[in-house]
Structures are given as C-alpha cells and as structure tokens.
C-alpha cells in the first residue's frame, strides 16, 4: 500500500508561509549570482504557492552561502520586531547593583511617607514626647536609687542611671525633697571623674546665682541654689 502525497491544502499556513519566505530568499540568491529564476521545484516562477518538493541549495555552493546569509538577516529582522524592550534600571550607588525602576519608585514613596509623618508632628507634640521620655528615664533612675538605699546586696551599679540622677538633681519637678535627701547620701559614694564633674557643675550654678544676685533671668531658683550648695558641701567634706 503506497502512501499518498499530501496536498498543498493539507499543509499548515505556517509551513506555507515559511516556504514562501524561503523561496524568496532563494530567488534573491539566484538573482545575485545571475542564475535563472526558476521555481523551487524546477517549474516556472508562475505558481501561486510553493511546491511541497521544495529543494534547499547546498551550503558548499555559492548559491547556498548566499541563501544562508539572506536567511540569517531575515531571521534577525523578525527577532528584533518580536523582542520586547528591556526594563530600564537605575544603578544603586551604595551597593553597585541595579534595581528596577518599579522598586526605586516604591522606595521613594516610602521616603516621602516618612517625611510627611515627621512634618506632621508639631513642635508642641515633639516637646511633649521629649518630656515623657525624660520622665521615664528619671523614674528608672529613681528606682535604681531606691534599690541602692534599701537593698545593697541586689543593687548593681549602672552608669547611665547615675548620670541621669546627677543631671536632674536640681529639678524639683522630677526629684522631690525626700528623694533628694537619699540622692545626697548616694552622691557621697561617687568617685572618679563623675565626682569631680558634679562638683564643678554645682560650683558653676552657685557662682551664676550669686553673680546675678538672685535675678530670675539666670533660670536658677533659690531651691536649685540651695541644693547645689548642699551637694558641694557633701563632696567637699569627704
């Protein structure tokens, strides 16, 4: 039983189109070499569709080399048309890597949101936050002082809390008179650079108050002056 030769109608449109393009490339190659423009199957160049018995020229011939060269050009042109444009990238100056513009835009949006959030905070709100933070640190330092006075065995030296106590020792709003009495006892135990720095600071407060003659413009009250003198006395007697 012999196999029937497929008709041109049974060939897919893609195959027919491919063969038409290949015929066109072949004809250009033959024209460049001065060869007769015959059909792909040896018939005249009058048929509408390419033959199913299409013959490709041999590569080792001049005709074959021109055919391959023209075909590569055609394929390259078709590839350039289909190829999508590359995604624009922005180089990251810190890491040296490239990131897509989409990621860069998202980063800029986040930065803008943070700036808006900061700008939305009023000076009054910022001052209130600082005061709350200040009170929290002072209360922690007072707890540290109370533990020192009540239970030395479980007490442990912490430089930051000691610095906080010395910084606000003249502030009557944060440290009342009862706590200040305990603080005076603690100040006696201070040694080294912290002791000398505290003594110098208190002497400066006393000098400013006495030079100004108690003037309110110095922002040093009578209570602050009295506390500074007591601290100087405690540090000088030891």
Q: Would you say residue 192 has pLDDT above 60?
A: yes
Would you say residue 199 lies in a domain? yes
Number of domains making up the chain: 2
Domain termination site, one of 36, 60, 75: 75
Domain presence at residue 5? no
For position 67, what pLDDT does the model report? 74
In a domain, 196, yes or no: yes
Average pLDDT, stretch 108-121?
Answer: 71
Structure tokens at 165: 């106590």
Reference 57, options 47, 70, 46; nearest CA is: 70
Residues 229 and 142 in one domain: yes
Whether residue 136 is found in the same domain as residue 64: no
Residue 36 included in any domain: yes
E strand segments, the chain: 89-91, 98-100
Share of the chain above pLDDT 70, in %: 62
Task: Reply yes or no on whether the pLDDT at 147 is more than 90.
Answer: yes
Structural domain contains residue 55? yes
Does the residue 136 lie in any domain? Answer: yes
- Is residue 1 a part of any domain in this protein? no
Q: 46 lies in which domain range? A: 13-75
pLDDT at residue 46 greater than cutoff 50 = no
The pLDDT assigned to 214 comes to 65
pLDDT (mean) for 6-20:
64
Res. 56: pLDDT tops 70: no
Residue with tokens 């709100």: 125
Residue 17 lies in a domain: yes
């Amino acid at each position: 039983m012999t196999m029937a030769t497929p008709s041109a109608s049974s060939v897919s449109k893609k195959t027919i189109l491919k063969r038409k393009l290949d015929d066109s490339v072949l004809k250009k190659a033959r024209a460049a070499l001065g060869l007769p423009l015959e059909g792909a199957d040896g018939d005249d160049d009058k048929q509408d569709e390419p033959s199913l018995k299409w013959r490709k020229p041999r590569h080792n011939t001049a005709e074959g080399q021109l055919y391959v060269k023209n075909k590569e050009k055609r394929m390259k042109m078709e590839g350039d048309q289909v190829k999508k444009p590359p995604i624009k990238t922005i180089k990251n100056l810190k890491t040296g890597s490239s990131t897509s513009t989409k990621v860069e835009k998202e980063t800029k949006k986040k930065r803008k949101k943070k700036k808006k959030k900061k700008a939305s905070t009023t000076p009054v709100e910022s001052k209130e936050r600082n005061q709350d933070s200040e009170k929290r640190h002072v209360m922690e330092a007072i707890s540290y002082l109370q533990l020192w006075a009540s239970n030395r065995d479980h007490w442990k030296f912490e430089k930051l809390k000691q610095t906080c106590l010395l910084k606000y020792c003249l502030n009557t709003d944060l440290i009342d008179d009862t706590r200040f009495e305990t603080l005076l006892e603690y100040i006696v135990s201070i040694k080294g650079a912290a002791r000398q720095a505290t003594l110098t600071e208190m002497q400066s407060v006393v000098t400013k108050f006495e030079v100004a003659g108690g003037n309110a413009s110095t922002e040093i009250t009578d209570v602050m002056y009295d506390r500074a003198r007591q601290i100087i006395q405690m540090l000088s007697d030891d």
